[in-house]
Chain A
Amino acid sequence: MTGNEVVAWAALVAGADFMYGYPITPQNEIMHYWARLAPHFGRGFLQTEDEMAAGFAMLGGALVGKKTFCATAGPGNILMQEPIAMAEMMRIPGVWVIQQRGGPSTATVIYSQQELRLTTAGGNGEGLRIVYSTAFHQELFEYTIKAFNRAWEYRFPTFVLGDGYQAKMREAVTLFRPEARGWTLTPAEPLVRRPGIPALDRDPVHLRNTFNIEEELYDRLMAQLAAYDRLTPEVVEWEVEVGPETEVLLVAHGIVARAAKQACAMLNRQGYKVGYFRPITVRPFPGAALREAVAANPNLRLLVVESAYGQLLALVKAELYGFTNAIDTLLKPGVGITAEEIMAAVTARTPKEVRPGG
């Protein structure tokens, strides 16, 4: 299956009720497939007039207790930031699938990792989101399901950050019903018009995105930030291969991490001492795990690899404040990176005296 189809099936088994969407490549087939599947399973679909409308319609659906989602990319992701920021402020759950394309602006419909910053920190606020960066189709399926659970569990906007390659390429994938694996689906409840008389039977629901007084916003926001800090250790995920012998630590996310992992295995077979670190949640970022990996060897050098010009690098540097390890980069905004290119970058930068075999 193509990654886009995988996402549509994942949303279906995750219990999504409604997709609001607006076409943009390379995510279109998520919408096409959902629109074809939905009538057979009693689910809904609405194509809105643009991405802002789609995003706000999602919030409306979530307010009345529906699991809603959307898929977009590039300029659509930009437009979607306003409703996403509102979801952050009002703690309205929702799932966004981002299939990154080249940027800035319309750029290419093909591929990039240039929406990392926008997806993790877009909007006029503090970026209170959960963002999973997937690397292959099985992950697209499983993390899309997980994203629905996380979104409705924590009520923060939740993202699956894919890319045009994952969207379009074909790969074998095992689809399953989450219940068959013992996964519990988080139920969606109406956030407004709950049963009972407000103030008598229950607290009134007062969801707001407007505040008249600075301090009022500050108090609310600090409570949101505290809630976000509490969820961080529960949701943060990463993959690491490192040891005291490791001389070069490859750091990459998403589909590039897949190439990095392959490069790591091949280089180690050739005698190089290479490790690998991949944040799966790029927000919240697994900073403690990264620091622990880097601390494995004081002389360890990092090689940050991404199809963007330093977006992952900025997150890595922020987490490693105070460390003195050298950081090399392989930054190719808007184009794919192969395992062979990563291997070449490592071998070219490894001084002759420490190369395996002299």
Chain B
Amino acid sequence: MVARVLEAYVGEYASGKSENAINRGCQLARSGRRVRLVDLDLVEPFYTLRPLKRRLEREGLEVLAWETSELVGLGETAIPLKKEMTNALAFAGDVIIDLGYGVDGRKLLNLVRGCYPTDQEGPRLRLLMVVNATRPLTSSVSLIVAYIQEFGAVDGLINNTHLGAETTVELIQEGAELVTEAAYRVGLPVVATSALRPYARRIGAYDRMGNPVRPLDRYMEDAFW
């Protein structure tokens, strides 16, 4: 039996959590797996995966997120959690969670059953921290380390270093160096370097630090609410 993939994407504001979570979900779905993508970036229900829900469903994902029509009439009601979200992990397939930013985003996992199972045999949710080393507050090894220490335990890092349209392969590789060094200092693995497909192709299967490369497609630019 193939092990289920249970991953939550966490990290700094605007580090690329949603884009990485979506791409991971789509990549797993394309390889024939059942995938549920869960939108737990609920600090602002208006800035999340909602506009992409239909498109992702067409790609074969089960998407747990609000529909625009469901939000009409709610007003500004703090954090509207769908009741299905508390059972997000109860699914016979892979579950990918897109979490809101920072420590407060992480706290939402307290409302999801089975995130921290006492039974060590069962599959466990892995928290993957997405790091864009051009983001000012995660732009050096010591800042990344400080960010992880403030955030609390995670299971791995993803180097998502880019500068939008001004990205270069060298910039991504330099990000890989910083993220790998930070990961080494706190004893964590680097799960991947993620990069838009044209850059990923030029970098190859592994970045210069030996981390596997995940090609990304752009979804979030269509998330015009």
Interface residues of chain A, those whose CB is within 8 Å of chain B, are 1-2, 5, 9, 25, 29, 32, 36-37, 106, 108-110, 168, 170-172
A110 to B50, CA, bound (A): 14
A36-B137 contact in complex given A106-B76, A170-B14, C-beta closer than 8 Å: yes
A139 to B76, CA, bound (A): 30
Q: CB of B119 within 8 A of chain A?
A: no
A25-B163 contact in complex given A106-B75, A109-B76, C-beta closer than 8 Å: no
For residue A318, give the distance in angstroms from its CB to the closest CB of chain B.
34
A9 to B137, CA, bound (A): 11
Chain A residues, Cβ within 8 Å of B225: 110
A97 to B46, CA, bound (A): 22
A172-B14 contact in complex given A5-B136, A9-B136, C-beta closer than 8 Å: no
Q: CB of B70 within 8 A of chain A?
A: no
Q: What is the chain A residue whose CB lies nearest that of B143?
A: A40
List CB contacts (< 8 Å) of B6-57 with chain A: 13-14, 44, 46-47
Chain A residues, Cβ within 8 Å of B166: 172
Chain B residues, Cβ within 8 Å of A168: 47
Chain A residues, Cβ within 8 Å of B14: 1-2, 5, 170
A170 to B164, CA, bound (A): 9
Chain B residues, Cβ within 8 Å of A172: 163-166
Chain B residues, Cβ within 8 Å of A1: 14, 135-136
A171 to B221, CA, bound (A): 12
Instruction: Encode B205-225 as 1/0 by CB contact (under 8 A) with A.
Output: 000000000000000000001
A-B contact count (CB 8 A): 32
A244 to B138, CA, bound (A): 52
For residue B24, give the distance in angstroms from its CB to the closest CB of chain A.
20
Q: How many residues of chain B have a CB within 8 Å of chain A?
A: 15
For residue A177, give the distance in angstroms from its CB to the closest CB of chain B.
14
Chain B residues, Cβ within 8 Å of A106: 75-76
Chain A residues, Cβ within 8 Å of B135: 1
Considering residues A25, A37, A106, A171, which has the most beta carbons from chain B within 10 angstroms of its beta carbon? A25
CB pair B13 A29 closer than 8 Å: yes
For residue A268, give the distance in angstroms from its CB to the closest CB of chain B.
25
A168 to B44, CA, bound (A): 11
A110-B46 contact in complex given A29-B13, A172-B163, C-beta closer than 8 Å: yes
CB pair B46 A109 closer than 8 Å: yes
Chain B residues, Cβ within 8 Å of A5: 13-14, 136
CB pair A109 B164 closer than 8 Å: no
Considering residues B76, B163, B166, which has the most beta carbons from chain A within 10 angstroms of its beta carbon? B76
List CB contacts (< 8 Å) of B141-166 with chain A: 163-166
Q: What is the chain B residue whose CB lies nearest that of A111?
A: B225
Chain B residues, Cβ within 8 Å of A171: 164
Q: What is the chain A residue whose CB lies nearest that of B104?
A: A32
CB pair A109 B165 closer than 8 Å: no
For residue A203, give the distance in angstroms from its CB to the closest CB of chain B.
45
For residue B130, give the distance in angstroms from its CB to the closest CB of chain A.
14
Q: List 15 A-B contacts (CB under 8 A).
A: A1-B135, A5-B14, A5-B136, A29-B13, A37-B137, A106-B76, A108-B76, A109-B46, A109-B76, A110-B225, A170-B14, A171-B164, A172-B163, A172-B164, A172-B165
List CB contacts (< 8 Å) of B58-73 with chain A: none
Q: Return the contact of B13 from the options A2, A9, A25, A37 (Cβ within 8 A).
A: A2
For residue A189, give the distance in angstroms from its CB to the closest CB of chain B.
31
Q: What is the chain A residue whose CB lies nearest that of B137?
A: A36
A109-B44 contact in complex given A1-B14, A172-B165, C-beta closer than 8 Å: yes
For residue A104, give the distance in angstroms from its CB to the closest CB of chain B.
14
For residue B97, give the distance in angstroms from its CB to the closest CB of chain A.
22
Chain B residues, Cβ within 8 Å of A108: 46, 76
A32 to B225, CA, bound (A): 23
A109 to B79, CA, bound (A): 13
A32 to B14, CA, bound (A): 13
Given contacts A2-B13, A109-B76, 9 further A-B contacts (CB under 8 A): A5-B14, A25-B44, A29-B13, A32-B13, A36-B137, A108-B46, A109-B46, A110-B46, A172-B164
A106 to B74, CA, bound (A): 12
Smallest CB-CB A-B distances: 9 pairs: A172-B164, A2-B14, A110-B46, A109-B76, A106-B76, A172-B166, A168-B47, A170-B14, A25-B44
